[in-house]
Amino acid sequence: MAKTAPPRSSRAQRREEARRQARRRRQQRLLLRGGLGVIVILAAAVAVWWLVARTGSSGTPVLYQFRTQDFHSLAIDPADPQTIYFGHHGGLLVSRDGGRSWQAGTLSGVDAMQLVIPLADPDRIYASGHNAFTVSRDGGQTWEVPAHNLPALDLHGFAVAPSDPDRIYAFELGTFSLYASSDGGMTWETRTLPPNVNQGMIPLAVAAEDPQHLYAGVGGQIWESLDGGQSWRQAGPGPGGMIMALAVSASGKGLYAGTDQGIWKLDNSGTWQKLPAEPRDAVLAVAVGRLEGGAERVVLVDAQGNFYRSDDGGRTWVSR
């Protein structure tokens, strides 16, 4: 006959049950620790995502992000630096609080690839771009298209002299020519392009006190003309990267360049300094204005639509 195991004592059964409960508690603790670890990791990931979305991967604060299809141009009102204009393919957005919030402007359905407000006439705003050349003479309330003799209107470079609101320069892509006007854009004359131009855009800027002193960004180099575009010379070594935008210092002593490697400033010694800002992408537009006390407000937008602002010439950048 087969032998049967003797019945276990109640004490042995209690010891076995205690061991099973202890094992279950250990497993529960391990599962709880694993769950808490996952939660901590997820929370850290969310925090990192929020910081990146708010400030950019570099840590440079992003003040606003545009949701437009493209990101063309910026201009600061010389009479009120809290008023900033942003140009895109569908027209203008306007901020009245230094770039923290934006509203639709009065110009719509127009490719505002370039925006310029001359210092000598803050009520005048020029906007130009693909099949676009228009001007407002009342601070952006109304707009008109001047009668002109330009052979085509695909303007991929545009600048107005800060000291003379009637002195304008434009690079027209269709004819691949540089033009100059001294009567506010009604009459244009052909000028000479800088050497080695083989690109579809030429960032232009005019010196603060000399309407004949013209700057042009060609690739990674700065060229300058002292005779309104009739002749050119290379202005020393260029900043780092491809030049996408130019802006003259509000004080008239320096030049800012937005490139695919950040934002740079040319000082009086002719040396380029990279400003301590690391946008997420190439800098597509730059504008400069003067604040009370002489400080310079610098604003820029990158190729992802991120808007940045500095109130001390680019040394530090404003956060939300």
- Are residues 109 and 36 part of one domain? no
Q: Is residue 22 part of a domain?
A: yes
- Are residues 18 and 124 part of one domain? no
- Are residues 24 and 107 part of one domain? no
- Are residues 162 and 31 part of one domain? no
The predicted structure's pLDDT at residue 226: 97
Q: Is residue 42 part of a domain?
A: yes
pTM greater than 0.85: no
Q: Is residue 275 part of a domain?
A: yes
Which element (helix H / strand E) includes 33? helix 10-55
The residue assigned the tokens 């990267």 is 241
- Are residues 93 and 35 part of one domain? no
Residue 12, pLDDT above cutoff 80: no
Q: What is the mean pLDDT of residues 42-63?
A: 53
- Are residues 169 and 247 part of one domain? yes
**What percentage of the chain reaches a pLDDT higher than 70?**
83
Q: Is residue 160 part of a domain?
A: yes
CATH number for the domain spanning 75: value is: 2.130.10.10
The predicted structure's pLDDT at residue 259: 97
- Convert 5-17 to b/e letters by CB count within 10 Å (16 or more is b): eeeeeeeeeeeee
- Are residues 132 and 73 part of one domain? yes
Q: Is residue 3 part of a domain?
A: no
Domain count, the chain: 2
237-244 contacts, C-beta under 8 A, 24 or more apart: 237/272, 238/272, 239/264, 239/266, 239/272, 239/274, 240/264, 240/272, 240/274, 241/282, 242/282, 243/203, 243/217, 243/218, 243/219, 244/203, 244/217, 244/282, 244/283, 244/284, 244/285
The predicted structure's pLDDT at residue 45: 43
Count H helices, E strands: the chain? 1, 23
- Are residues 176 and 51 part of one domain? no
- Are residues 306 and 195 part of one domain? yes
Residue 55, pLDDT above cutoff 80: no
pLDDT tens digits, one per residue of 188-241: 999 999 998 988 999 999 999 999 999 999 999 999 999 999 999 998 889 989
- Domain span at residue 17 reads 13-55
Pick from 86-100, 162-176, 258-272: least confident: 258-272
Q: Is residue 164 part of a domain?
A: yes
